[in-house]
Amino acid sequence: MPRFARHLTEQDGPNNPFPGLQALERRLGHTLPHRIGSNEGLDMPHQALAARFGPALAELARTYGDAEAWQLRSMLSEALDVPMDSLLVDAGADSLMALTLRALCDDGSTVITSAGTYPTWSYFVRGQGCRQVEVDYASDEGYLAPDLQALADAARREKARVLYLANPDNPAGHLHTDADVLALREALPEACTLVLDEAYHDFREDAWQPEANRVWPGVIRLRTFSKAHGLAGLRVGYAIATPDTLAMLMKVRIHYAVSSLALAAAETVLAHPDETRAHVDDVIARRRALSEWLRERGAEVLPSTTNFVSLRLGDAERAAAVHRTLLDEGTLIHRPAHPALGDLLRISALEDSLVPGRLDSLAAALR
Ligand SMILES: Cc1ncc(COP(=O)(O)O)c(C=O)c1O
């Protein structure tokens, strides 16, 4: 059994006091057209909002979203072949990270993380009062990946409550196979939950195959609409996990964190998968072109299953100098703040990255 925060297992609840009107309608089996009990401002005319964004937005803006995200979960369930009760929608993968920590950890619980991986995770771990143990990446020429053996060893040694793995990883871009992730799960203590951050899942070749979306006991898979679906500003993501695990998360979830607009937008893009898939194909083509361009100039480019390309300069000071020069030119690329990965630079696979001249300062540093 995975372990959860003590105060959640030692009592019944907390129970969400406002499951929402849509949940009530589903329970009653009929609609409630006269919603005069939830103080929403339903008669706000919204002329300015409608003039700027159209009447559909003004309509959505007046009401609380469906706290259970029923429609979106049912569409996801069909698209991914995952049972609806194994899906939880929240305000992006970041929000899901904070939620998993809140549900899983007590003050001082130990969390295992790769040193230099997606830093928001560590930010939340520290904010939650957890004890973080970092494990170095496995590294070789042209290879940088979370070290699954070392992560499992650390989890066992430190009696960890949670292990975080970004797969595909940010900033390495590396994708571990599902077989390797399941072997990692096998090697973990039963009480330790694997939080598997799959923000870049949609860039996997098999992303839409049922096998790539399984519910794995002891694992909370985090997904997002921010990357392949282009909805970062609206904040929507989802978790795949066993129903009993999600029930624990639901105890402490901010129930209206996902807005009515965000839900409607996610439903709309999900109803048009061809547009998302075409976008993913374009991103992959640009990623290959960018990797090729960098390799031709002598860069150590890391293989990537994401929407970005990372390269290592082998020298943190040189990487910092390139980063600074590009910033002065008005170009923002990413250099991790973590000292373990200070020689790495990360570039998004956008059309703008391929514009001739855009990365010339980087190319000059590679010579
Ligand atoms: C590994 C990883 N997880 C999560 C996120 C954030 O996703 P969201 O916008 O859904 O919060 C990012 C964004 O860069 C990421 O790289």
Pocket test of ligand 1: the residue of 124, 174, 175, 197 to mutate, having most ligand atoms within 8 Å of its CB, is 197
Tokens for 161? 């409550």
Q: What is the mean pLDDT of residues 361-365?
A: 96
Q: What is the mean pLDDT of residues 120-127?
A: 98
> What ligand 1 atom has the least distance to the C-alpha of 237?
10
Amino acid at 52: R
Pocket test of ligand 1: the residue of 95, 175, 224, 258 to mutate, having most ligand atoms within 8 Å of its CB, is 224
The hierarchical CATH code for the domain 6-16+64-271 is 3.40.640.10
Class of domain 274-366: alpha beta
Tens digit of each residue's pLDDT (9 = 90 or more) over 64-82: 999 999 999 999 999 999 9
**Checking DSSP bridges between strand 138-140 and strand 219-224, what pairing results, if any?**
unpaired
Tens digit of each residue's pLDDT (9 = 90 or more) over 287-335: 999 999 999 999 999 999 999 999 999 999 999 999 999 999 999 999 9
The two domains 6-16+64-271 and 274-366 share their CATH topology (first three levels equal): no
Query: Is the whole model's pTM more than 0.85, yes or no?
Result: yes
Tens digit of each residue's pLDDT (9 = 90 or more) over 138-161: 999 999 999 999 999 999 999 999
Distance 237 CA to ligand 1 centre (A): 9
Buried b / exposed e over 159-191, threshold 16 CB at 10 Å, is: ebbbbbbbbbbbbbbbbbeeeebeebbebbbee
- Alpha-carbon Rg for the chain, nearest whole angstrom, is 22
Percentage above 70 pLDDT, the chain: 100
> What ligand 1 atom has the least distance to the C-alpha of 96?
11
First to last CA, the chain: 54
**CB within 6 Å of ligand 1 — which residues?**
92-94, 118, 166, 170, 197, 199, 224, 226, 232, 237
Q: What are the residue ranges spanned by the domains of the chain? A: 6-16+64-271, 21-63, 274-366
Cα–Cα nearest to 216, from 182, 192, 187: 182
Predicted pLDDT at 1: 84
